[in-house]
Structure 1
Amino acid sequence: MHKQISSIHNPFIKDLSQLKEKSRIRKKTQTFLIEGLREISLAIAGGYTIKTILVDFSKINQTEIDSLLTTSISEFEVIEISNNVYEKLAIRETTEGILAVANSKNLALKSIEFKTENPLILVAEAPEKPGNIGALLRTADAAGIDAVFIANPKTDLYNPNIIRSSVGCLFTTTIATGTTSEIISFLKEKNINIYSAALTASVEYQTIDFKKPSAIIVGTEATGLTDEWLENTTSNIIIPMRGAIDSMNVSVSAAIILFEAVRQRNS
């Protein structure tokens, strides 16, 4: 028999609502909310510790919960919640009726260990929009690269909108955060070439040899990269534009360059 919560005024539910809304609470408690069966499954596959599962059984059945229990390395409590409690905590309108409370991971650079001596890394400097961050993580997952670094992050990576827009790739991608200076120092220490997507003093991206250890650096569409990257770059790279505009969405630009790097490495 599961513990049951039917009131949105329950203190635990109020705490979880704060966890959903406030980055400060997520950082203080080192926990965050995950919504959706696929996302929770990917978090478990990515080695995240699940503390509690909350289930609206009007939307999901016990068999699907049991499948999670068999894959998780940690034991977790299952709490049955009413539909109105679920709707208070969920951010998606169409979802399977399941939420999880998970422990966040240390995203420090020093915790990064590459499985290869020839890594391919994406670095995004100061991305703000959760949708863009999620799309970058999906791109990284699709390309099968070794890591994503977020320089000078403006947004807490466990923001529910990043989890949603990344469709769980947040959990399956090796991620680290740090200042621009820290990431540049890390890349130089590891002898990883730095290729900065920039409009000035640039060569076309497809002329670069990405077969060696490489980091592809992208900035925001509005402001581009800070001078610190341009002063420490191995080479500035550009995607030639054939139309009337001179920039694309950051995740599109990253995808074009990353898949060229992957193509070279596989040829």
Structure 2
Amino acid sequence: MPAADLITSPQNPRIKNLLRLQQKSAERREQDLTIIEGHRELTIAHQAGVVVQTLFVCSELAGAAHLRELEAMFATGPEWVAVSKAVFEKVAYREGSDGVLALVRPPRRRLQDLQLPANPLLLVLEAVEKPGNLGAILRTADAARADAVIICDPRTDLYNPNAIRASIGCSFTVPTVATTRAELLDWCQQHGIRTYAAALTDHARPYTEFDFRGPTAFVMGTEADGLTPELREACSATIIIPMRGAIDSLNVSTATAILTFEAVRQRQ
């Protein structure tokens, strides 16, 4: 590990700034930074081309093997900051942390930046507010090789540290865009993308009745409120996952995974 003075006080200004970045989306926007914690998450982000600005490392928690891997990955580029175990445990936001935390500049994309294949598979989330759900859906998107995740009118920061943690770094492997409902609908129409609203309505049909081999966007709402009527009614079709038990719906990340892998199955 490159030589550096050891930070041993949680009152250190750099540690205080880390905590502000963790806790406040306004700070992340103002500084144009977010936080990745964990060796696996950081490795995935690095392989996806994310540029690391600063590494905060606790040698005692990281261990010799992980330190060697970090030194190989980041021999040049980021600043290294050594912190004590007590200080690292103060800033860590996950249990059993492995002693590495990075400050990175998150990607900023617009709809027009997306490079789409002939038959894109897109996941659209309206007003997502739970970082854990966003992270889980990004993992699904990565596993299925979806072409993008698009967030309409988001209520959470796309690169919230908890979303990055829940995605295990897939926040950086899948092109992700924040936009408005109107911009999304206009863009989908321009690109000939059929939009499938997942919603429990009288005219919704089971997802197994549809052909998802063409340009497809699954449009998912929040768990609390579902899709807004305006977005649901503007979609090409409304689909449901038939429920056979007492409940009438699934967790949004689970429902998204079912629909996404049905499209993958059909395309194979």
- Superimposed CA distance per residue, residues 194-213 of structure 1 (whole angstroms, 9 cap, x where no aligned partner): 11112221121011110001
Residue aligning to 2:89: 87
Q: Please report how far the alpha carbon of residue 86 of structure 1 lies from its aligned counterpart in structure 2 after TM superposition.
A: 0.4
Q: Percent identity?
A: 45
Deviation track 1:131-157 (CA, whole Å, cap 9, x = no partner) reads: 111111112122221111111100012
Matched residue, 2:224 = 222
Q: Does 1:240 align with 2:228?
A: no
For 2:258, the aligned partner's letter is: I
* CA offset digits 1:162-185 (Å, max 9, x no partner): 111111111111111111111111
Question: Contact 2:150–2:176 at 8 Å: present in 1 too?
Answer: yes
C-alpha contact 1:69 1:75 (8 A) present in aligned 2: no
Could you tell which deviates more after superposition, 221-230 or 85-94? 221-230
**Matches of 2:17 and 2:95, distance apart in 1:** 21
1:183 is matched with which residue? 184
Mapped partners of 1:24, 1:163: distance in 2: 17
Q: 1:127–1:220: 8 Å Cα contact kept in structure 2?
A: yes
Matching of residues 1-267 of structure 1 within 5 Å: 1-71=3-73, 75-114=77-116, 116-200=117-201, 201-266=203-268
CA distance in 2 between partners of 1:181 and 1:43 (Å): 31
Instruction: Tell me by how many angstroms 1:62 deviates.
Output: 4.9
214-223 vs 57-66, greater mean Cα deviation? 57-66
| TM-score scaled by length of structure 2 | 0.94
Amino acid at match of 2:108: N
Structure 2: distance between partners of 1:228 and 1:159: 27
* TM-score (ref. length: structure 1): 0.94
8 Å Cα contact 2:59-2:67 kept in structure 1? no
Q: Report the Cα distance in structure 2 between the residues aligned to 1:72 and 1:186, rounded to whole angstroms.
A: 39
> Which stretch has the larger CA shift, 97-106 or 223-232?
223-232
Q: Which runs of 5+ in 1 are unaligned?
A: none
- Give the AA of the match of 2:7: I
Task: Report Cα offsets for 1:47-106 as digits up to 9, x if no partner.
Answer: 111011111111123553343344459611111101121012111120111111111211
User: Could you say what the CA RMSD is over the residues aligned between the two structures, in angstroms?
Assistant: 1.6
Structure 2 regions of 5+ residues with no counterpart? none
May I ask how many residue pairs the two structures share in their alignment?
A: 265
